[in-house]
Amino acid sequence: MNNSYIAVLDSGIGGISVLKDLIKVLPGEKFLYFGDNGNAPYGNKTIDELTVISKRNIDLIKRYPVKCLVLGCNTLSVNIIYSIMRYSGLPTFGVFPPVERVSKNKKTLLLSTLRTAKTFTSSDNLHVLGLKNLVYDIENNVGDLTKINIERNLSLSEGFFINKKNYYDTIILGCTHYVFIKNKISDHFCPKNIISGNEYTVKAVLDFLQNNKSLVNNKGFEVKFIGNFAVFNEHFYISSGQT
Ligand code: DGL
């Protein structure tokens, strides 16, 4: 059990941002990364479609010895974490946009996929924006993320926002893919803070492993990629190593 995998699942490269954060605090663990590029983007799919896809993916993941499952994906987490938990029978953790951690008096913009945006409501100080194309763009430009055009993506968005520099105190990255273009988003809006849910997920996984005495301290970490791993190996070089 202890030496089995921590599985991380996402529609593509987004969950790599979670995987990297997990490796930092769990440098002796074995990880199984499933990047479901074939079905990306999840954010433009229905709940029924996501449920069917996720069951299939869990069946694949469960061919391996797994001690817990991390949904490296806000879209799966906010929409179907409970059905994934029930179906997998695994301790399951999600990434959630940390909206409740931001003061209600601060001007906040939540950027997310369309499916995630539908689960939040805009108010005076919280503006919720669903971006239709940004995950596509990130997946397609993984080799050169400087090509991403933020203005174009904002024009293809659903929701309300103020397109001005320095207007927002906080930007919440409500999609794990967006973490890879954090600097670009920051340059566009110039907020005081830019945050994601990744750190809270990592803390929850760490607490769980500690409480269950299932932390391992191998000499280095190991990552096994399933899904379209050629892309991951080419761009992320994190198959194994020591932190
Ligand atoms: N990275 C995922 C998320 O955090 C999924 C994005 C997508 O495939 O649309 O929502």
Look at residue 217 in the predicted model and tell me its pLDDT: 82
Cα-to-centroid distance, 41 and ligand 1 (Å): 6
* Dihedral (CA of 128, 133, 136, 137) sign: negative
Which atom of ligand 1 is closest in space to residue 44's alpha carbon?
A: 9
Find out whether the beta carbon of 8 lies less than 6 Å from any atom of ligand 1: no
Cα-to-centroid distance, 15 and ligand 1 (Å): 8
| Probe residue for ligand 1, chosen from 57, 73, 80, 81 as the CB with the greatest number of ligand atoms within 8 Å | 73
Which atom of ligand 1 is closest in space to residue 112's alpha carbon?
A: 10
What is the DSSP track for the chain? -TTSEEEEEESSSHHHHHHHHHHHH-TT-EEEEEE-GGG--GGGS-HHHHHHHHHHHHHHHTTS-EEEEEE--HHHHHHHHHHHHHHH-S-EEE----GGGS-TTS-EEEEE-HHHHTTS---SSEEEEEESSHHHHHHHTTT-GGG--HHHHHHTEEE-----TT--SEEEEESGGGGGGHHHHHHHH--SEEEESHHHHHHHHHHHHHHTT-----SSEEEEEEESHHHHHHHH--SEE--
Determine the Cα–Cα distance for residues 107 and 30; give it in Å rounded to an integer. 40
| Probe residue for ligand 1, chosen from 74, 116, 173, 201 as the CB with the greatest number of ligand atoms within 8 Å | 74
Determine the Cα–Cα distance for residues 200 and 206; give it in Å rounded to an integer. 10
pLDDT in tens, the chain (243 residues): 677 999 999 999 999 999 999 999 999 999 999 999 889 999 999 999 999 999 999 999 999 999 999 999 999 999 999 999 999 999 999 999 999 999 999 999 999 999 999 999 999 999 999 999 999 999 999 999 999 999 999 999 999 999 999 999 999 999 999 999 999 999 999 999 999 999 999 999 999 999 999 999 888 999 998 876 545 555 555 556 665
Find out whether the beta carbon of 175 lies less than 6 Å from any atom of ligand 1: yes
Digit-coded pLDDT (tens) for 173-196: 999 999 999 999 999 999 999 999
- Among all residues, which ones are annotated catalytic? 73, 175
Global pTM exceeds 0.85: yes
Look at residue 129 in the predicted model and tell me its pLDDT: 98
Residue 203 identity = K
**CB of 154 within 8 A of CB of 163?**
yes
Find out whether the beta carbon of 74 lies less than 6 Å from any atom of ligand 1: yes
Determine the Cα–Cα distance for residues 3 and 240; give it in Å rounded to an integer. 15
